[in-house]
Structure 1
Amino acid sequence: MIDRLQALADRYEKLSELLCDPDVASDPKRLRDYSKEQSDLEEAYSAYTEYKSVSSQLEDAKLMQGEKLDDEMREMVKLEIEELSARHAELEEKIRVLMLPKDPNDDKNVIVEIRGAAGGDEAALFAYDLYRMYTKYADSQGWRVELMEASESDLGGFKEVIFMINGKGAYSKMKYESGAHRVQRIPVTESGGRIHTSTSTVAVMPEVEEVEVEILDKDIRIDTFCSSGAGGQSVNTTKSAVRVLHVPTGIMATCQDGKSQNDNKTKALQVLRARIYDVRRQEEEAKYAGERKSKVGTGDRSERIRTYNYPQSRVTDHRIGLTLHKLDAVMNGDMDEIVNSLTIASQAEMLEQENLA
């Protein structure tokens, strides 16, 4: 690992030189690529730099401990060794996590799909609540949310809603949300005060570039139709809504919330590309399912991942056994504790697998 860290440090320092080169400064693409690469290495470089410094100080302190010292100085050296040893261990663990293989999608924007599942109108209302939770969480992270497609229920919920979250690291924090979310509460339509259980499904997919998933014109069928729902005078009068079918896979995407047919086509192709990529990714993961049992799940939307219990103000993530008694805060976008716990669980699992390898 030390060799890998030294190679990383050498590359970071080389990038610093390149970024000072006038030829690079005058080339926007190289400047952008080198800046991003250095930014990606920065945390590991800083940790390794501190690790080397602490290691050197610890070695010096241990040498000093072998010298003839008075009682006061010996006690000071002992305390210093204890503090440096603790920091040394912390940095070792941090570096091990930083050197884990990176998910190439972590920095990408995400496309999120939420659908009301079991529970009818109540499931649709819960789908709206999840949409609101994610948009508020996105706001807290400084991300931008763009609605792509929505199908409303009679009571104001969402039968289905598709939206994009634009922001650095969006996928790294949102990727564990895929799965079935269960709500337990008294529905607004329930006159007898009984608690009902409903579910909504969430799928989180990284935004995919055209070069990552090539969609050939001959492989798609595009249909246009009149939009439905809110949208102004053009609704039901112009064929601005777009449905795109990828014939080889049978995967389809529809968009009607854009300002024009061209806008809707662009968004529908974005969703289609992400869905095709997601299917391929899950097929690849299925090949290794017997070897790798993930605590935080595979992203299968049929897997029950979390329960939101309103009477007890409780949120439970079943994958890692995390229970929080602050439902209102979570539904208002305070998801940091859940996201961080899932990330730590995933990293611990990867470290365990690395140790077994």
Structure 2
Amino acid sequence: MEDYRQIQLAELDRKIEETKKLLLDPQMEDLAKTEIADLEKQKEDVLTTYQQASNEENSEDLDQRNVIIEVSGAAGGDEATLWAKELLRMYTRFAEIKGFKTEALDEDVIKIEGNGAFENFKFEAGVHRVQRIPATEKRGRVHTSTATVSVLPELEDIDLHINPSDVGFEAFRAGGHGGQNVNKVSSAVRIIHKPSGIIVTSRTERSQLQNREIAMELLRAKLWEIEVEARHGEIAGLKSTQVGRGTRAEKIRTYNFPQDRMTDHRINKSWRNLEGILDGNLEEIVKELSLNLKAM
């Protein structure tokens, strides 16, 4: 995937070249010079934040950040959607056990706040497969469903600056819970990031301003994910980096209900007691993954 900041730089270069044409017009020359200086400053800011992000990714600073977790049903229809909700509950329970604060950002997205939050959840990114007999299955057949987990550190604008002109905002009426205000007022927000095509939404708050702030948090996190995946794709042979970060396409884990066993395929290790695991008892698993994946 193309690096987002490369898209930004290319767009700024294009604007600079277009504006330079105005220098030939005496009436527009002063305005053009001001605009070019502003664009050059934006370009310098992008390059600076890119270097800061590169340095930060190689440090342990991100581990101490808050974390944003998105869980989406993948293969398996309604069962996959149900499985995604169970995983989201598992992470919420684990956060409570760790003493972290949890906040719903959207229907399938939560933010977990606390020192070391990202460190505790960063190895959960990838595809989680479940094998079990659904409640609606009359013949007792085992079905396989999957859910995709995305784990992203919470970033500030100083970490990854987004040009306001690259973003489009739309307000709409949110459905679901929330009372009359949710139904009558366009408080939900949808953000379209023009260079990348990414679309994010937030509808959990009653205030449009709050939802807009949440949506920008999500957008920054997703753009960071694009950069990390692009950077890792350029580094051949660093398998440990690929495994350690986890990507949306990586099948990392299977939860086998008939055998009451959860297996993490990255370290080829299994744990029993799925009921306890899904109730948030992940401490042992997190420690094992941290120890083994960092050592690979």
State the partner residue of 1:237. Answer: 184
Q: How far apart are the structure 2 equivalents of 1:206 and 1:291?
A: 22
Structure 2 counterpart of 1:124, one-letter code: T
Q: What is the aligned counterpart of 1:311 among 258, 263, 270?
A: 258
Residue-by-residue CA offset, 1:111-132 (whole Å, 9 max, x unaligned): 0000001001101111111011
Structure 2 counterpart of 1:257, one-letter code: T
Structure 1 counterpart of 2:284, one-letter code: E
State the partner residue of 1:71. Answer: none
Which structure 2 residues correspond to residues 1-357 of structure 1 after superposition, within 5 A? 102-150=59-107, 161-294=108-241, 296-349=243-296
Q: How far is the alpha carbon of 1:326 from its aligned partner? A: 1.5
Q: How far apart are the structure 1 equivalents of 2:69 and 2:238?
A: 28
Q: How far apart are the structure 1 equivalents of 2:170 and 2:294?
A: 44
Q: How far apart are the structure 2 equivalents of 1:183 and 1:130?
A: 10
Q: How far apart are the structure 2 equivalents of 1:278 and 1:259?
A: 28
Q: How far is the alpha carbon of 1:148 from its aligned partner? A: 0.6
Residue-by-residue CA offset, 1:52-81 (whole Å, 9 max, x unaligned): xxxxxxxxxxxxxxxxxxxxxxxxxxxxxx
State the partner residue of 1:72. Answer: none
Structure 2 counterpart of 1:306, one-letter code: R
TM-score, scaled relative to structure 1: 0.65
Equivalent residue of 2:254, what SS?
strand
Alpha-carbon spacing, 1:307–1:271, altered in 2? closer, same or farther (3 Å)? same
Q: How far is the alpha carbon of 1:173 from its aligned partner? A: 1.3
| Greater Cα radius of gyration, structure 1 or 2 | 1
TM-score, scaled relative to structure 2: 0.78
Structure 1 counterpart of 2:169, one-letter code: I
Q: How far apart are the structure 2 equivalents of 1:107 and 1:289?
A: 28
Structure 2 counterpart of 1:168, one-letter code: N
Structure 2: gaps of 5 or more residues = 1-57
Tell me the number of residue pairs that the alignment of Structure 1 and Structure 2 aligns.
Answer: 239
Residue-by-residue CA offset, 1:166-194 (whole Å, 9 max, x unaligned): 01101111000000000001111111111
Question: After TM superposition, which residue ranges in structure 1, 4 or more long, deviate above 3 angstroms?
Answer: 291-298
* More RCO (CA 8 Å, sep 6+): 2
Structure 1: gaps of 5 or more residues = 1-100, 151-160, 350-357
Q: How far apart are the structure 2 equivalents of 1:239 and 1:302?
A: 35
Q: How far is the alpha carbon of 1:235 from its aligned partner? A: 2.5
Aligned-residue RMSD, C-alpha = 1.3
Alpha-carbon spacing, 1:110–1:289, altered in 2? closer, same or farther (3 Å)? farther
Equivalent residue of 1:209, what SS?
coil
Percent of pairs with identical residues = 43
Q: How far is the alpha carbon of 1:314 from its aligned partner? A: 0.4
Equivalent residues of 2:182, 2:206 under 8 A apart = no
Structure 1 counterpart of 2:76, one-letter code: G
Alpha-carbon spacing, 1:259–1:330, altered in 2? closer, same or farther (3 Å)? same
Q: How far apart are the structure 2 equivalents of 1:206 and 1:294?
A: 17
